[in-house]
A and B are shown apart, each in its own frame.
Chain A
Amino acid sequence: MAKSVYANRREVLLRSVIGVLGGYALAALAVLLTILLLPAGGRSAEGLGQMIGFSFFGLSVILAFSVRSAKKAWMVVGLPLALLGACYTLLSGGGA
């Protein structure tokens, strides 16, 4: 747990932001997309969305703190986030 694990505090902050907040955003998008895509909808879709969402969250935090640099962390979590975000914008926009 020494300082040597991460170069500096800025590094830790950057990883925390993308890991925790980015991971949360991913989870939220997972719920929204599942509800949107699952024809049955309702509680059942919400439950599935949460299962996927929480898994995404866990994965994001672990990845964000495991990869070599903060920059890479932003890419690893940021890309899927952008992708899911785009999907949701397109799908929900098309439906409205």
Chain B
Amino acid sequence: MSAGVRQKNAWLHGWAGLLLGWLMFAIFVTGTIAFFRQEVTYWMQPELHDSDPGEPLEMARMAIDRLEHIAPDAREWQIELPSEREPQLSVSWEADGAEADSASSAFAADRARAEEAAAQANARGGRPRDPGVAVDPATGAIIHPRETAGGDFLYHFHYQLHFMSRGSGMLLVGLVTLAMFIAILSGIVTHKKIFKDFFTFRRRKGQRSWLDAHNAAAVFALPFHLMITFSGLLLIGGTLLPFSGQERNRERQGEMEQQAPTDLAAGSSLPLSKILHTAQREWSVPVGRLSFDRRANTVELSSQRNDSLFLRPGGGPGRNLTFDGTDGTLLEREDNLASDGIDRTNRAIRALHLGRFADWQLRWLYFVAGIGGTVMVATGLVLWSVKRAAKRRDALIPIGQRLAEILNIGAVAGLNLAIATYFWANRLVPAGTPNRAELEIRLFFIAWTVTYLHAAARKPQVAWVEQLMVGGGLFALLPILSFATGSLWLPSAVASGNWIVAGFDAVCLLTATVMFCAARFITRGSERDNVAQDFPIVDRSLVPAE
């Protein structure tokens, strides 16, 4: 490949990466956290941290007993058994009218509270939610965890943003993904010595160090970056290429027809142990959800996670078993497996992006690769302005470059600070505050906005350092804040074997360390520059010399 082609692709790489790079970074960060979406939500509901899961059969019995007291009139009950990722037992119900008075008097208040919370959540938008509560598997006590959007907020942000309709958010994310795709492809073309450069790191060389870091982060997880970008395109494909010629979501209307009210089946007569036993025999994965249709008197069991890439990757579990509610005979086995090769390819690519099939080891690998992506985008953004700064020797900074610098600071350091604020808000906003989920989100955006203003008010290097230090400080103190607000924190979580909370706190400390190191790196860099007056002026494009 000629040097000209590589140079042209370096140009394309720079512009494709910069134009939407700031959003790209936010999408990468929130998307990476979304691999631990359920774990983050669990951390953000410390009311749940004290209960330990028990035996599935005992827990299901306990849940049914609670449902009979709370929602005897409901036409549907759902029980979520604890899983590795969401270790709480929760129940929810769907009643025709809100006949809260039908709950036995001891539970009327619980029911009213749960229904109020669900109404609030549904007013916020998102997938419709049934009212529900958590149940302590050991004591049967009803737990009302604090209202929070939890990891779901970060997850939703990474593909539909916020403060705009779902459609426009997805379109914008789609455009960013297209730019990302181009940036990756042109980045590969422009990169001549992809293998050799991977082992090159020139420390303390200003622009070169940024370039080497950018290359290392990009090449280290290149298969992941390609996979996650291409699959992201496919997941959002219906928005980007809406030419399927057929309307979606029409199928569901048939199911919604009103049934005449009939007798509601009692849960206590259910042969639970037989049903759970059958499910265990049929599946290689544990049971996740039990759904009771109390009019038809059937129970549907869903698998906890997918055990195949060819199962439906999202929008519900891939495997279901339906049982008769009276004698526990297996009525139907449903496996949403792909029918042909095209469908399989399609599903496998999407499943790889969502990673819902992944066990915890693979999930961590996803997380690390995602971090690689965030480092790739961040160093790329910084490289862009460092390069321009290097070329310009006069003191006058044009407005475009100043703007790019402010956006870099707010997008990279500021976002991390805002996420730390979101977690702080979770611990500090009182559990009973009305609309507290929305308040947490607001505080996140307020913090993020402030970081841009701060970046505009301060000199770039000072702003970088200050934001990294404050953000790092917030992350470092987060475990202590948990302790101070009476929640489980790193030492007590390790002691009680709660690996989700322990892992969350450990990642916070690690994030803090990285942010402190970055701040130190920049401080040192600017000290050196005061001597040299500028970044080392090496007018080197992304193309290594021949």
Q: Is A89 an interface residue (CB 8 A)?
A: no
In the bound complex, residues from chain A placing their C-beta under 8 Å from that of B340 are 40, 44
CB distance from B394 to the nearest CB of A (A): 17
Q: Which of B83-91, B129-137, B215-223, B342-350 contacts A (4 or more CB under 8 A)?
A: B342-350
In the bound complex, residues from chain A placing their C-beta under 8 Å from that of B181 are 54, 57-58
Given contacts A28-B241, A45-B342, A66-B189, contact A50 B233 (CB under 8 A): yes
Q: Is A27 an interface residue (CB 8 A)?
A: yes
Is A50 touching B342 in the complex (CB atoms < 8 A)?
A: no
In the bound complex, residues from chain B placing their C-beta under 8 Å from that of A53 are 237, 241
Given contacts A46-B244, A62-B182, contact A51 B9 (CB under 8 A): no
Q: Residue-by-residue, is B55-88 near A (CB-CB < 8 Å gives 1, otherwise 0)?
A: 0000000000000000000000000000000000
Is A61 touching B244 in the complex (CB atoms < 8 A)?
A: no
In the bound complex, residues from chain A placing their C-beta under 8 Å from that of B245 are 32, 35
Minimum CB distance partner of B14 in chain A: A1
Q: Residue-by-residue, is B190-226 near A (CB-CB < 8 Å gives 1, otherwise 0)?
A: 0000000000000000000000000000000000000
Which residues in window 324-341 of B have CB below 8 A to A? Answer: 339-340
Is B342 touching A48 in the complex (CB atoms < 8 A)?
A: yes
CB distance from B389 to the nearest CB of A (A): 14
Chain B, interface SS category: helix
In the bound complex, residues from chain A placing their C-beta under 8 Å from that of B10 are 1, 5
Is B243 touching A57 in the complex (CB atoms < 8 A)?
A: no
Minimum CB distance partner of B6 in chain A: A66
Q: Is B185 an interface residue (CB 8 A)?
A: yes
Is B234 touching A65 in the complex (CB atoms < 8 A)?
A: no
In the bound complex, residues from chain A placing their C-beta under 8 Å from that of B243 are 28, 31-32, 35, 49
Is B241 touching A50 in the complex (CB atoms < 8 A)?
A: yes
Is A48 touching B346 in the complex (CB atoms < 8 A)?
A: yes
Q: Is B178 an interface residue (CB 8 A)?
A: yes
Q: Is A80 an interface residue (CB 8 A)?
A: no
Which residues in window 173-190 of B have CB below 8 A to A? Answer: 178, 181-182, 185-186, 189
**Count of chain B residues with Cβ under 8 Å from any Cβ of A?**
35
Is A65 touching B8 in the complex (CB atoms < 8 A)?
A: yes
CB distance from A46 to the nearest CB of B (A): 5
- How many angstroms from the CA of A49 to the CA of B345 in the assembled complex? 12
Q: Is B142 an interface residue (CB 8 A)?
A: no
CB distance from A15 to the nearest CB of B (A): 9
Minimum CB distance partner of A60 in chain B: B182
Q: Is B7 an interface residue (CB 8 A)?
A: yes
In the bound complex, residues from chain B placing their C-beta under 8 Å from that of A5 are 7-8, 10-11
Is A50 touching B189 in the complex (CB atoms < 8 A)?
A: no
- How many angstroms from the CA of A66 to the CA of B244 in the assembled complex? 32
Query: In the complex, which of the residues A1, A6, A54, A66 contacts B234, with contact meaning CB atoms closer than 8 Å?
Result: A54
Is B342 touching A66 in the complex (CB atoms < 8 A)?
A: no
Size bracket, chain A contacts: 20 to 34
Query: In the complex, which of the residues A43, A46, A65, A68 contacts B12, with contact meaning CB atoms closer than 8 Å?
Result: A65
Is A57 touching B346 in the complex (CB atoms < 8 A)?
A: no
Is A44 touching B342 in the complex (CB atoms < 8 A)?
A: yes
Is B244 touching A31 in the complex (CB atoms < 8 A)?
A: yes
Q: Residue-by-residue, is A83-96 near B (CB-CB < 8 Å gives 1, otherwise 0)?
A: 00000000000000
Is A47 touching B241 in the complex (CB atoms < 8 A)?
A: no
In the bound complex, residues from chain A placing their C-beta under 8 Å from that of B182 are 58, 61-62
Minimum CB distance partner of B236 in chain A: A50
CB distance from B171 to the nearest CB of A (A): 13
Which residues in window 5-50 of A have CB below 8 A to B? Answer: 5-6, 27-28, 31-32, 35, 38, 40, 42-50
Is A54 touching B8 in the complex (CB atoms < 8 A)?
A: no
- How many angstroms from the CA of A6 to the CA of B8 in the assembled complex? 8
- How many angstroms from the CA of A44 to the CA of B4 in the assembled complex? 40
In the bound complex, residues from chain A placing their C-beta under 8 Å from that of B541 are 1-2
Is B189 touching A62 in the complex (CB atoms < 8 A)?
A: yes
In the bound complex, residues from chain B placing their C-beta under 8 Å from that of A38 are 342
Query: In the complex, which of the residues B12, B230, B233 contacts A61, with contact meaning CB atoms closer than 8 Å?
Result: B12
In the bound complex, residues from chain B placing their C-beta under 8 Å from that of A68 are 4
Minimum CB distance partner of A47 in chain B: B346
- How many angstroms from the CA of A46 to the CA of B182 in the assembled complex? 22
Is A65 touching B237 in the complex (CB atoms < 8 A)?
A: no
Query: In the complex, which of the residues B16, B234, B244 contacts A51, with contact meaning CB atoms closer than 8 Å?
Result: B234
- How many angstroms from the CA of A61 to the CA of B175 in the assembled complex? 14
In the bound complex, residues from chain B placing their C-beta under 8 Å from that of A40 are 340, 342
- How many angstroms from the CA of A51 to the CA of B9 in the assembled complex? 23
Given contacts A27-B241, A32-B243, contact A51 B186 (CB under 8 A): no
- How many angstroms from the CA of A46 to the CA of B240 in the assembled complex? 12
In the bound complex, residues from chain B placing their C-beta under 8 Å from that of A58 are 181-182, 185
Given contacts A50-B234, A54-B181, contact A31 B241 (CB under 8 A): yes
Q: Which of B4, B5, B234, B241 has the most CB of A within 10 A?
A: B241
CB distance from A19 to the nearest CB of B (A): 9
Spell out B's residues near A (CB within 8 Å): 4-5, 7-12, 14, 16, 178, 181-182, 185-186, 189, 230, 233-234, 237-238, 241, 243-246, 339-340, 342-343, 345-346, 349, 387, 541
Spell out A's residues near B (CB within 8 Å): 1-2, 5-6, 27-28, 31-32, 35, 38, 40, 42-51, 53-54, 57-58, 61-62, 65-66, 68
28 contacts between A and B (CB under 8 A): A1-B11, A5-B8, A6-B11, A27-B241, A28-B241, A28-B243, A35-B244, A38-B342, A42-B246, A43-B244, A44-B340, A45-B342, A46-B244, A47-B342, A48-B342, A49-B243, A50-B233, A50-B234, A51-B234, A51-B346, A54-B233, A58-B182, A61-B182, A61-B185, A62-B186, A65-B11, A65-B12, A66-B5
